[in-house]
Structure 1
Amino acid sequence: MTTRTANFHSIADGIYAWQPQQRGWGLANCGLVTDGGRALWIDTPYDRTLAAEFLRRTRAVLAPGTEVDRIVVTHANGDHLWGAGVLPDAEVITTREALHHIAYEPTPEQQQALLQNLDKDGDTGAYLHEHFGCFNWADTPPVVPDTVFTGELELRVGSIPVQVSSLPSAHTSGDLTVHLPTRSTVFTGDVVFGSTAEHPGDHPVHWAGPLGNVIDAVERLLDTGAETVVPGHGPLLTRADLRAHAGYLRYVRDRAHALHAAGRTAAEAARAVIDEARYPELGLPERLLVTIGTEYQHLDGTEPPAMLEVVGRMAHLARQREARTA
C-alpha cells in the first residue's frame, strides 16, 4: 500500500507546490498562488485527509486573515478535484468540457463502494486495492464546479496575473493549463506526467486523446516561455525535460499508428510497446493499454469502453507481467 507523504515548498515568489514524494496512481501535484491578501489553489489532493493536510500547510504560509477563495481545477479526474470539499466556500473553476468527464468517472461514493465490494483476489480487485486502497472517500461529497469557461480566462491574485487556458480534448475532455507569466511558471495538469533521470515517474495515462492533441498541448506550454514546469504528477521539470516528454509522446503515437496499420489490436500494440522497453525507468507500464487504446478509438472512430472495463484490462496485464517476472 502506498505511503502518502508530500513535500510543500516555495517554487517562486508567492507560488508553492504540493508534491507527493512517491510514484503511483492518485498522487497528484497541486499549487498555491498567494499575494496581496488573496489565495488560489491549483488542483486539490484526492481525498479529504490529504486535502486537509494541504490546507494546513497552506494556512501556515498565508498572511493573517487570508483564505483560499478560488480553486482552479486542471481537469476532472478525482485525484485533482475531489479534495475541493475541504474548502466548501471556495469558487471551483474549470472548463465547460470537464463536465463531460465528471459524468464519465464514478463519484467518490461509487468508488469507495467499488473498493469495498470487489473481490480482492480477482485481478481488478487486487489492482484497485493495491493502488487505491490508501485513499478514503467515505466522507467525500461530489464536487460541482461553480464557474466553467471555454477558451481563455484571465484571473489575478493580488498583483500576480494568472492565465488559464482550456485545451482541446487531450488527457481528458476538459483539460486546462495555468500560466503565471510574472513567475515564469506553468502548471500543466495531466497533459504532462513528470519524469527526470534523477526522479523517474510513471507512464502517462490519457483517457480522451488523441495523442496529437496532447503533443500540441506540450508545444503550447513550451511557447509560454515558462522556465519552471509543474506537471500533474512527478517531479518539477525544466524546458528540456518538457521537450523530452514530447519525444516520449511522439514515440508512443507513432508506434500505435504503425501497429494499427499492421493490423495489430490495441492490446497487442500496447504489449509490443511495453516489450520494446524504450523507457524502462517509467512505472505502471500497463497504463499504455489505456493510452494506446484511446489512440485506436480515434483511428477507428469507436467509443471508449466503460471505466471499470478499462481498469480490468490494466489489472489483468499487470498481473500477467508480475507472474512472468516471478
Structure 2
Amino acid sequence: MSITVGDVVDLGRGLYAWLPPKRGWGLANCGLLVSPRGALWIDTPYDPVLAGQFLAESAKRLPDGVSIDRVIVTHANGDHFWGAGVLPDAEIIVTREAREHIHYEPSPQQQHALVTGGDRSTPLGAYLGRHFGPFDWSRTEPVSPTTYFTGELELSLGDYPVQITSLAPAHTTGDLMVHLPAQSVVFSGDIIFSSSPDQPGDHPIHWEGPLSNIIGACEQVLATGAETIVPGHGPVLDRDGVREHIGYLAYIRERAHHFHAAGVPSIDAARRVIAENRYPGLGLPERLVVTIGSEYRQLDSSERPSVVQVMTDVATVAHEVEQVSETAGAAG
C-alpha cells in the first residue's frame, strides 16, 4: 500500500500547511513559510518518500533562487522529524529537551527492522505491519539537529517574524509551538490533534504529560491570539476547536485520575475509558493506553517503559477492540 501526498492549504502571506490525505499513525501536518529571501519548513513527513512529495510541493511555491534552509521541529517523534534528511544542508531547530525523546525512540532503521521483521501472527507484529508497514526507513539515517534552544527563539524570514516557544513536558519532553503573528497562525505540533465531522481524526497519543501540562500548552496557543491553528494531526482549527480539544483532554485526565484513585491498573483504565465511548468518531482508541499510562506514570513517579512494551500493550488492546467490534457486528 502506498501513501500519496495530501492537500496544500494556502494560509496567506507566504504560509502553507501540508495536510496528509487521511488519518492514521505517522501522517503528520507540516508547514512551509516562503519569502523572497528564504523559506523554512515547520515539521517534516515521516519517511523519505513522503518528504520528497512535500519537497516537490514546496518547490512549486518557492521564488526563483530561494531554497528551504531551515526546519523547525515541533517535537522529536519520527513522524515530524525523520523526513528532514531530504534537506541535508538545512538548519534543524529543536528544543534542548527534545534530545531526551530522540534517545527514547528507536532509530529509523531499527524501527524499519522492527516493523518488517515482526511476527505477523502476534498482535504486536500484526499491528506494526498494518499501521507502519507503508513507510520505508530502510535507508533513512538518523537526523541530527543543528540548533538547540531553551525558552524562546525569534527568527525573521524576510518581513515575517517567527516566534518559537518551548513548552513544559507535554506530548513529549521537548515540545515547542511556532507562532506566526503576521499570518495569525500557530503550528502546535502534537499538543493538539483535531477532528471534524467531514474529516474525522484519531485519539491523541501523549508520551510524557502530565495532561495538565498539555492543557496548559493549549491555553498558551490561545494566548497568542492566533485565529488559525494547525495541529500536529487532523484538520486546521479555529480557536473554538482548540477549546473543544481542551475539553477532551480534561475528560481523559478526570477519568485517569478517577481510576488511579480506585486502584485500577493503567491498561485496564484505558480499556474502561474506551468502553465509555465518549468520542465514537475518533479512531485508534487503543492509543489511550499510552496517554493514560503516561498520566499514571506522572502520578506514581514511575519509570518510563520501553517503546516496545508500550506498543505491545497498545496492540493487545487494539486486538481486543477489534474482537468486540466483530462480535457486535455479527450479533447485529
Name the TM-score, length of structure 1 as normaliser.
Answer: 0.99
Instruction: Measure the CA separation in 2 of the matches of 1:106 and 1:19.
Output: 25
1:227 maps to which residue? 227
Whether contact under 8 Å (2:116, 2:133) holds in the other structure is: no
1:75 maps to which residue? 75
1:290 maps to which residue? 290
- The one-character-per-residue Cα deviations of 1:52-85 (angstroms, maximum 9, x if unpaired) are 1101110111000000000000000000000000
2:172 maps to which residue? 172
Structure 2 unaligned blocks of 5 or more = 327-332
1:308 maps to which residue? 308
Whether contact under 8 Å (1:203, 1:285) holds in the other structure is: yes
1:61-100 to 2 correspondence within 5 Å? 61-100=61-100
1:45-194 to 2 correspondence within 5 Å? 45-194=45-194
Deviation at 1:325, TM superposition (A): 1.6
Deviation at 1:295, TM superposition (A): 0.2
Instruction: Measure the CA separation in 1 of the matches of 2:68 and 2:229.
Output: 22
Instruction: Measure the CA separation in 2 of the matches of 1:262 and 1:97.
Output: 33
Whether contact under 8 Å (2:3, 2:50) holds in the other structure is: no
- The one-character-per-residue Cα deviations of 1:269-315 (angstroms, maximum 9, x if unpaired) are 11111111111100000000000000000111101110011001010
Instruction: Measure the CA separation in 2 of the matches of 1:68 and 1:322.
Output: 43
Letter in 1 for 2:116: Q
Deviation at 1:197, TM superposition (A): 2.6
Whether contact under 8 Å (1:36, 1:159) holds in the other structure is: no
Instruction: Measure the CA separation in 2 of the matches of 1:242 and 1:53.
Output: 29
Instruction: Measure the CA separation in 1 of the matches of 2:268 and 2:121.
Output: 25
SS of the equivalent of 1:61 reads coil
Deviation at 1:86, TM superposition (A): 0.4
Deviation at 1:3, TM superposition (A): 3.8
1:240-319 to 2 correspondence within 5 Å? 240-319=240-319
Kindly report the root-mean-square deviation, in angstroms, between the aligned alpha carbons of the 2 structures. 0.9
1:30 maps to which residue? 30
- The one-character-per-residue Cα deviations of 1:235-272 (angstroms, maximum 9, x if unpaired) are 00010000000000000001100111111110111111
Deviation at 1:45, TM superposition (A): 0.2
SS of the equivalent of 2:93 reads strand
Instruction: Measure the CA separation in 1 of the matches of 2:205 and 2:14.
Output: 31
Q: Percent identity?
A: 56
Instruction: Measure the CA separation in 2 of the matches of 1:172 and 1:42.
Output: 17
SS of the equivalent of 1:70 reads strand
Instruction: Measure the CA separation in 1 of the matches of 2:2 and 2:225.
Output: 35
Whether contact under 8 Å (1:196, 1:237) holds in the other structure is: no
Instruction: Measure the CA separation in 1 of the matches of 2:267 and 2:56.
Output: 44
Larger deviation, residues 111-120 vs 182-191: 111-120
Whether contact under 8 Å (2:29, 2:230) holds in the other structure is: yes
Deviation at 1:2, TM superposition (A): 6.7
Structure 1 unaligned blocks of 5 or more = none
Whether contact under 8 Å (1:2, 1:131) holds in the other structure is: no
Instruction: Measure the CA separation in 2 of the matches of 1:2 and 1:234.
Output: 20
Whether contact under 8 Å (1:196, 1:241) holds in the other structure is: no
Letter in 1 for 2:45: P
SS of the equivalent of 1:321 reads helix
- The one-character-per-residue Cα deviations of 1:109-132 (angstroms, maximum 9, x if unpaired) are 100111121101111010001000
Letter in 2 for 1:78: G
Deviation at 1:4, TM superposition (A): 3.4
How many pairs does the alignment contain?
326
Name the TM-score, length of structure 2 as normaliser.
Answer: 0.97
SS of the equivalent of 2:162 reads strand
Letter in 2 for 1:255: R
Instruction: Measure the CA separation in 1 of the matches of 2:216 and 2:49.
Output: 35
Deviation at 1:316, TM superposition (A): 0.7
Larger deviation, residues 194-203 vs 178-187: 194-203
- The 1:122–1:55 alpha-carbon spacing in structure 2 relative to 1, beyond 3 Å, is same
1:4-23 to 2 correspondence within 5 Å? 4-23=4-23
SS of the equivalent of 1:8 reads strand
Whether contact under 8 Å (2:185, 2:228) holds in the other structure is: yes
2:217 maps to which residue? 217
Instruction: Measure the CA separation in 1 of the matches of 2:110 and 2:48.
Output: 16
SS of the equivalent of 1:182 reads coil
Instruction: Measure the CA separation in 1 of the matches of 2:325 and 2:279.
Output: 17
